[in-house]
Amino acid sequence: MSGDNQSNIRNFCIIAHIDHGKSTLADRILELTSSVELREMEDQLLDNMDIERERGITIKARAVRLGYKADNGEEYIFNLIDTPGHVDFNYEVSRSLAACEGAVLVVDASQGIEAQTLGNTYLAIEHDLEVVPVINKIDLPSAEPERVCSEIENIIGIPALDSPRISAKTGLNIKDVLERVITDIPAPKGDPDKPFKALIFDSVYDMYKGVIIYVRVMDGSVKAGQTIKLMATGAEFQTVEIGYMGAKDLVPVGELRAGEVGYITASIKYIGDTRVGDTVTRADAPCDEALPGYKKVQSMVFSGVYPADGAKYPDLRDALDKLALNDASLTFEPETSAALGFGFRCGFLGLLHMEIIQERLEREYNLDLITTAPSVIYKVNLTNGETVMIDNPSNYPDPALIASAEEPVVNAHIFTPQEFVGNIMELCQDRRGNYIDMKYLDDTRVDLHYELPLNEIVYDFFDALKSRTRGYASFDYEMKGYVPSKLVKLDILLNGEVVDALSFIVHVDKAYARGRKITERLKENIPRQLFEIPVQASIGGKIIARETVKAMRKDVLAKCYGGDITRKKKLLEKQKEGKKRMRQLGTVEVPQEAFMSVLKLDE
């Protein structure tokens, strides 16, 4: 198959809410285009990380080239570019979208449009993408395709009445979708004679090839052996291999031309050199300007990550190094804590990103971790006129030196069935939310718009929202900016000693309640020890809450019979093991669970 004819190329992505069937649809498309033999298909081929598969979400974009013979008898090349579905990866989504001319919008026939779907659809429209709506899961008894169609028309404002009604699960009407891709989505219109210009929409690290950059060629063409330049970083490399992404393998080709999607390898060692959104051109014949929309991704949420077993510090460093090979948005630097020892301060795009990284560290690298409460970046204006950015409570300045402080806020949209509005408003109020407005999406569902401090949502907001809406609400946010705030640093003391890893920055109005809750949690999660342990919360040395872990009463092997001391020894070994899992803070032993228990306070 050749890419000579741009008019027979379609570059598109699929937008869908979690569980609305994006991956299943992608699988069906792969089947129908005979890209993969049926029996070789593992369900949901495009998502290839375990966590993605379990959570039903896509973390990193992937792309695949498919051949399709249309009803009009012509052969087409489809480049299906998968996009991450989550707000944390908004920027990556926008770059994937920029590589496409169109988007297939998959909406669940019984659930309707969700907050993230809408966010990504708007993003697609902003990028001038042609949106092809598809109603999925029409085989479900609860399917209401008519209602969902009118929802799409009313909310998004695109015609949806004659949109394909499909069941990705059973394979019903999938061909309709492909035909619509051909008729509705425009072919790329690059200029093959202009200098080479391509957009990086993703990159992965490969042990043998180095970084593989995924590109959409806008103009011109590229071949192996040419010297390319990455415009944002200025780095130059000689290309080694050029090709496209087959369903199962990378397929080398001689040349990638305008309108095509493919990959380039160039013995690139660091993924940081190949930033998503950057423009690739030829070093000897550069294009005149870079593609718009590039920005360097910024971490929004920070957390201390420590190995539960201090001896595993080097393992943690190796694991982070490896993850960072494939994830330029993960940042980390060494940090030490009196309580937790050696670890790393890690920066994440958002909450989900943080959870995913932590989970991958634990699952793929077999690490047992202790993480500290997530923090956002605070802006602290000092009395000497200086402004400092603080992402770690340990660095919070002495209150006497602080003139004022600011915290980041986000614009948050919560889509929910009407019945939960009361619960959600209560939650947002409790999280210091600022109500903006509420719009009816249809007769039963609303879009609640709040301004929320980011530090209130990095803290178990998703869980709280889920439990208050039985999982029916969806949530999306974008950064708005900084607002002045009354912040304090809350310290936790065990047996009179401050535990640095448990300190955090909080709004003064929330400090008392938070302090009380944390001391309660610690009390529940710190086992009784040989003597009583006071658990206190304090602000600037003033105690605001106190609980007590009572002294242990009984821990004895009373009977040791006939000189059989094996039990006693076994017990001792078991206790030694148990002790290893504890953190010794002064005279107090704190289990890992205690550190984790303060991260989820909403119950």
Is residue 566 within the footprint of another protein (CB under 8 A)? Answer: yes
Considering the complex, state which of residue 297 and residue 594 has its C-beta at the smaller distance from another protein: 594
471 phi and psi, to 5 degrees?
85, 5
Using CB under 8 A, pick the residue from 161, 285, 403, 565 that binds another protein.
Answer: 565
Using CB under 8 A, pick the residue from 289, 419, 463, 564 that binds another protein.
Answer: 564
Q: Are 232 and 289 in contact (CB under 8 A)?
A: no
Using CB under 8 A, pick the residue from 1, 557, 581, 600 that binds another protein.
Answer: 557
Considering the complex, state which of residue 439 and residue 568 has its C-beta at the smaller distance from another protein: 568
Q: Are 124 and 131 in contact (CB under 8 A)?
A: yes
Cα–Cα distance measured from residue 466 to residue 414, given in angstroms and rounded to the nearest whole number: 11
DSSP states of 298-311 as a string?
---EEEEEEESSGG
DSSP states of 20-53 as a string?
SSHHHHHHHHHHHTTSS-GGGPPSS-S--SHHHH
Nearest-approach distance from CB 580 to another protein, in angstroms: 9
Q: Long-range pairs for 25-30 at CB < 8 Å and ≥24 separation? A: 25/104, 25/106, 25/134, 25/136, 25/166, 25/168, 25/174, 25/177, 26/80, 26/82, 27/168, 28/168, 28/171, 28/174, 29/66, 29/78, 29/80, 29/174, 29/177, 29/178, 30/64, 30/66, 30/247
* Per rule CB under 8 A, count of chain residues that contact another protein: 27
Which range in 32-40, 199-207, 411-419, 572-580 contacts another protein by CB under 8 A? 572-580
Is residue 559 within the footprint of another protein (CB under 8 A)? Answer: yes
Cα–Cα distance measured from residue 597 to residue 518, given in angstroms and rounded to the nearest whole number: 8
Considering the complex, state which of residue 440 and residue 531 has its C-beta at the smaller distance from another protein: 531
Which range in 85-93, 316-324, 332-340, 566-574 contacts another protein by CB under 8 A? 566-574
Is residue 579 within the footprint of another protein (CB under 8 A)? Answer: yes
Considering the complex, state which of residue 401 and residue 572 has its C-beta at the smaller distance from another protein: 572
Decide the pairing of beta strands 279-282 and 255-257: unpaired
Considering the complex, state which of residue 93 and residue 588 has its C-beta at the smaller distance from another protein: 588
Is residue 436 within the footprint of another protein (CB under 8 A)? Answer: no
Which positions ≥6 away from 388 have C-beta within 8 Å?
379, 380, 382, 395, 397
- Strands (E) located in 441-580: 445-453, 474-484, 487-494, 497-498, 504-507, 533-539, 542-549
Which positions ≥6 away from 266 have C-beta within 8 Å?
210, 211, 213, 228, 237, 238, 239, 240
Is residue 207 within the footprint of another protein (CB under 8 A)? Answer: no
Considering the complex, state which of residue 75 and residue 564 has its C-beta at the smaller distance from another protein: 564
DSSP states of 98-127 as a string?
HT-SEEEEEEETTT---HHHHHHHHHHHHT
Q: Are 552 and 529 in contact (CB under 8 A)?
A: yes
Is residue 384 within the footprint of another protein (CB under 8 A)? Answer: no
Return the residues of window 43-72 that contact another protein according to CB under 8 A: none
Using CB under 8 A, pick the residue from 38, 384, 561, 603 that binds another protein.
Answer: 561
Is residue 555 within the footprint of another protein (CB under 8 A)? Answer: yes
Which positions ≥6 away from 535 have C-beta within 8 Å?
492, 493, 494, 519, 522, 523, 526, 546, 547, 548, 549
Considering the complex, state which of residue 543 and residue 582 has its C-beta at the smaller distance from another protein: 582
Considering the complex, state which of residue 208 and residue 561 has its C-beta at the smaller distance from another protein: 561
Using CB under 8 A, pick the residue from 141, 234, 385, 563 that binds another protein.
Answer: 563
Fill in the per-residue mask, 514 to 553: x = in contact with another protein (CB under 8 A), - = not in contact: ---------------xxx-------------------xxx
- Strands (E) located in 293-360: 301-307, 331-337, 341-348
Which range in 59-67, 307-315, 400-408, 569-577 contacts another protein by CB under 8 A? 569-577
Considering the complex, state which of residue 245 and residue 535 has its C-beta at the smaller distance from another protein: 535
Fill in the per-residue mask, 580 to 599: x = in contact with another protein (CB under 8 A), - = not in contact: -------x------------
Using CB under 8 A, pick the residue from 161, 318, 560, 600 that binds another protein.
Answer: 560
Nearest-approach distance from CB 494 to another protein, in angstroms: 16
Return the residues of window 172-201 that contact another protein according to CB under 8 A: none
Nearest-approach distance from CB 575 to another protein, in angstroms: 5
Considering the complex, state which of residue 542 and residue 559 has its C-beta at the smaller distance from another protein: 559
Is residue 311 within the footprint of another protein (CB under 8 A)? Answer: no
Binding interface with another protein (CB under 8 A): 529-531, 551-566, 568-569, 571-572, 575-576, 579, 587
